[in-house]
Structure formats: C-alpha cells, structure tokens
Amino acid sequence: MGRHVLAIRVATLLALWAAWEIAARSGVFYEGIIPSSFLVLRSMARHAVDPVFYGHMARTVYEVLVGFALGTIVGLVGGILLGANRFADTAAAPYLHGLASTPKIVFLPILMLLFGAGPGSKIAMGAFSAFFPLVIAVAAGMSQISPVHIRVARGFNASFLQIVRTVYLPSLVAPALTGMRLGLGVAIIGVLLAEIKFSDRGLGHLAIQHYNFFRVADMYAVLLLTFALAVLANAVMGQAGRLLIRRPVSA
Amino acid sequence: MLGGAYENWIAALFSAPLILLYPMFLVVFGRTPAVCIAMGFLVGIIPVILKTREGFMDVKPVLVNVARSYGAGDAEILRTVLLPAARPAIFTGLRLCLIYAMINVVGIEFLANLGGLGFLVGEMFDRYDIPAMYAALICLILTSALFYTLTGRAERWLGGR
C-alpha cells in the first residue's frame, strides 16, 4: 500500500513536470507565460542565495505572524465570551457570519486609512482575516461542551475565570486548532494581497514586481517559494496541534 | 488508494495562497471575467473535495452494510446512504468553497481592476470618495451574507425531505 501510494505520487509529479515542459517548449502558449522549468529552478536557486529576497521574506513572515497572533488572541477571547452567553451569541451570529464570508481584502482601504501604508495595515489585514474563522469555530466549540461539566464546575463554586481555565480551554483545543489553521491560511492570503496592492516590501510585492517587469520565471520562483513557506507553516501548525491533542492540557 | 496518494497534496494546496497565481491567469485568459471564474473554481473546488471525502470516510460501515444486505446497488447506496450521511460535511465544504471563492474573486477584482464590486471599492478609494467606498463595501457584505444565507437555506431544504 505505502509503496503504491509513493509510486502514484512519483508518477503524478513526473507527468505534471513533463506536461509543463512540453507546454513550455511546444510554443502553443506565448513564450513568456510558461517558462521552462529549468529557468524557474535556476531563478529559485538565485533567490535562495539573495539577501534581498530574505528581506522581503522577513517582512512577510513578520506581518503574518503578528497579524495571526493578534487575530488569534482576540478571536479566542471573543469566541469564549460569545459561547458563554447564548443571548449574545444569537444576537451576533448573523453579523459574524455575514462578515466572515465577506472577502476581507475590501477592507484594506479602511485599514490603510487607519494604520498607514506600511506594515501596520498588513498586520491589521492578517489579524482581521484570522479573527473570523477562529471566533466562529470557538463559539461553535463552546456549544458542544457538555453542560454537565460546566454545572459540576459551578457546583464546586468555580469562578468564571476558573471555569475558562479548567473546562472551556481544555475542551476547546480541537475546534480552536481547526479555526487557527483556517485563520492562518486566510491571514497569509490577506497579507500577500495587501502587499500586492500597495507595499514596498514583502513576498507579494516581490512577485508582482517581477510580473510588472515581465520576469515570468522569477515570478514563478517567488510564487513557488511562497507556497512552500505557506505549506510549511500549515504543517507546523498541524504538528503542534497533534502534540496538544495527544497530551490534553492538565488543569 | 488514490485518496491516500493525493489527500496530503490537496490539503497542502488548500493552505497555499493560490491567488498569487492570478497574474498567470491574467496572461492566459486576458483581462476578462474568465480570470475570476477560473480562479474561484480552482480555490473553491479544493475544500469541497477534502470535506466530501472526509464526510464519505466517516459514514458508518454498518449503514452501508445494511443497505447492501437489503440488495441496494452502488448508485442506490450513494443516493440513500452516503450522500445524506455526508451532507453536513459536504455543506461545510461548500461554505468554505463560497468563502474562498469570494475572497479570490473580489481580491482579483480589487487588484487587477477587472470590474465588479471589489473593483468599485478600490476605485472609490483611489478617488478618495470615502462615502462611496463604504457604500460599495456594504453592498459587498450584503452580497456575501446573501450567498451565505442561501447555502444555509439549501442545506435545511435538503435535510427537510
């Protein structure tokens, strides 16, 4: 089974690569659209040793991390407060769900008015994007908690903060992690889009700069490196989540 | 087995900001709405695949076995057992699909000035017509809220039968 899976993967990879190469050399597409994979690889190698690239990368990583952390904290607190209060939850639900499905990028103009055109507005964009999936996941997770647990804690005269620490947080690990994974994804999208629209640094800015100067191979190289970074971040999150779930928080 | 081979890849694609590919789509399709449609399709299909698969995998084998012992064929099992049992998961996928498609379509409109509400918001901001920008924004929020409500309705309607 494992070997077959590997075989299928290798075969798919080779087929995709061959298709790309054939498309690049066939001349069906305009030469600039699909550059040969070797050009892209060479460009990736060049970026990997270029300190300028790391400057862009550091800016994007910084914006995503700070934005994601802010969004996560606010989302977690908001989700717990909403979940603990059925009335507030019902009242806020339509607004929350309506805003959650709205593409956050359109708020970028407002955020730029508020936080300026520098990294501030990108961080705000990331935080704003990461907030919604988390607050919804946590509020939904709160409603899944067995009321018995809460009643037992109340019976032992636990204060609200104690209930949060000993009942809510341990049972919220799984839904919060789901929300955080979604949140990280949309935070990355938000930050990159904001960088593309208006920025002087960052991976999004670098990619679009290459596009504007029609350095298509370079653009693909930056895109692939960015994808790799995003996939890596997601994998780290998943791994961290697995560790947390295996060893439940002992109170 | 195919699922085992591809699931991680699709999940990885889901976490990659695919919208960055939009310049490529722009070159392939030209400056037409087809760019938005293709991009929305590409990012929207991923959560649907992932969640539908998840939903099918979580169907209790007992249910399938009972249906089979009553002589149900594959198509019948799909229609009467698998699809209803996986409905919540499928709709979670659809909802994610909607959100991601909206993000990408509006994002591209906003970035590439292709027209549409996303473009309108950006255009009004560029003209510094802030009240008009807020108006366009509110229209956009209402649009996405409407889509969201419709999926919820559809789910309830399907479940009510």
Three-state SS annotation for chain A: CHHHHHHHHHHHHHHHHHHHHHHHHHCCCCCCCCCCHHHHHHHHHHHHCCHHHHHHHHHHHHHHHHHHHHHHHHHHHHHHHHHHCHHHHHHHHHHHHHHHCCCHHHHHHHHHHHHCCCHHHHHHHHHHHHHHHHHHHHHHHHHHCCHHHHHHHHHCCCCHHHHHHHHHHHHHHHHHHHHHHHHHHHHHHHHHHHHHHCCCCCHHHHHHHHHHCCCHHHHHHHHHHHHHHHHHHHHHHHHHHHHHHHCCCCC
pLDDT digits (tens, 9 = 90+) for A177-188: 888 888 898 899
Give residues 89 to 148 of B whose Cβ lies within 8 Å of A: 95-96, 98-99, 102-107, 110-111, 117-118, 121-122, 125, 130, 133, 136-137, 140-142, 144-145, 147-148
**ipTM value greater than 0.90:** no
CA distance A111 to A117: 9
Are A17 and A130 within one domain? no
Residue B102 covered by a domain: yes
User: Number of structural domains, chain B?
Assistant: 1
CATH number of the domain to which A154 belongs: 1.10.3720.10
Are A63 and A184 within one domain? yes
Residue A146 covered by a domain: yes
Q: Do A108 and B118 touch (CB under 8 A)?
A: no
Chain B residues with CB under 8 Å of A229 CB are: none
Q: Do B106 and A103 touch (CB under 8 A)?
A: yes
pLDDT of A28 above 70: no
pLDDT band at A127 (very low <50, low <70, confident <90, very high): very high
Residue B58 covered by a domain: yes
Of A30, A109, A189, the CB nearest to B125: A109
| Average pLDDT estimate for A92-105 | 81
Instruction: Say what the pLDDT of residue A30 is.
Output: 64
Question: Which of A82-91, A134-143, B24-33, B77-86 bottoms out in mean pLDDT, i.e. has the lowest?
Answer: B24-33
The proportion of chain B whose per-residue pLDDT surpasses 90, expressed as a percent, equals 0
Are A27 and A44 within one domain? no
pLDDT of A74 above 90: yes
Asked whether A219 and A207 are in contact (CB, 8 A), the reply is yes
pLDDT of A205 above 70: yes
Are A117 and A27 within one domain? no
Are A41 and A29 within one domain? no
Greater model confidence, A89 or B8: A89
pLDDT of B160 above 80: no
Instruction: Say what the pLDDT of residue A5 is.
Output: 75
Are A21 and A68 within one domain? no
Are A13 and A83 within one domain? no
Residue B54 covered by a domain: yes
User: Number of structural domains, chain A?
Assistant: 2
Residue B119 covered by a domain: no
Q: Do A105 and B2 touch (CB under 8 A)?
A: no
Instruction: Say what the pLDDT of residue A1 is.
Output: 54
Are A60 and A9 within one domain? no
Q: Do B24 and A33 touch (CB under 8 A)?
A: yes
pLDDT band at A2 (very low <50, low <70, confident <90, very high): low
Greater model confidence, B5 or A147: A147
CA distance B90 to A71: 27
Residue A229 covered by a domain: yes
Residue B124 covered by a domain: no
Domain that residue B50 falls in: 2-113
Q: Do A106 and B121 touch (CB under 8 A)?
A: yes
Instruction: Say what the pLDDT of residue B4 is.
Output: 62
Chain A residues with CB under 8 Å of B19 CB are: 189, 192-193
Are A62 and A23 within one domain? no
Residue B60 covered by a domain: yes
| Average pLDDT estimate for B127-145 | 85
Task: Tell me the pTM.
Answer: 0.81
What are the residues whose beta carbons fall under 8 Å from the beta carbon of A202, sequence distance 6 or more?
A: A56, A59, A60, A63, A122, A191, A192, A195
Chain A residues with CB under 8 Å of B142 CB are: 98
Residue B46 covered by a domain: yes
Are A2 and A40 within one domain? no
Domain that residue A232 falls in: 36-246
pLDDT digits (tens, 9 = 90+) for B105-127: 888 888 877 778 888 888 888 78
pLDDT of A175 above 90: no
Residue A251 covered by a domain: no
CA distance A224 to B28: 19
Q: Do A105 and B147 touch (CB under 8 A)?
A: no
How many residue pairs bridge chain A and chain B with CB atoms within 8 Å of each other?
A: 127
Are A202 and A86 within one domain? yes
Q: Do B17 and A12 touch (CB under 8 A)?
A: no
B55 reaches A (C-beta below 8 A)? no
Of A103, A227, A234, the CB nearest to B102: A103
Question: Which of A33-42, A64-73, A120-129, A151-160 bottoms out in mean pLDDT, i.e. has the lowest?
Answer: A33-42
Are A29 and A90 within one domain? no
Instruction: Say what the pLDDT of residue A70 is.
Output: 94
Residue A100 covered by a domain: yes
The rounded mean pLDDT for chain A is 83
Instruction: Say what the pLDDT of residue A251 is.
Output: 42
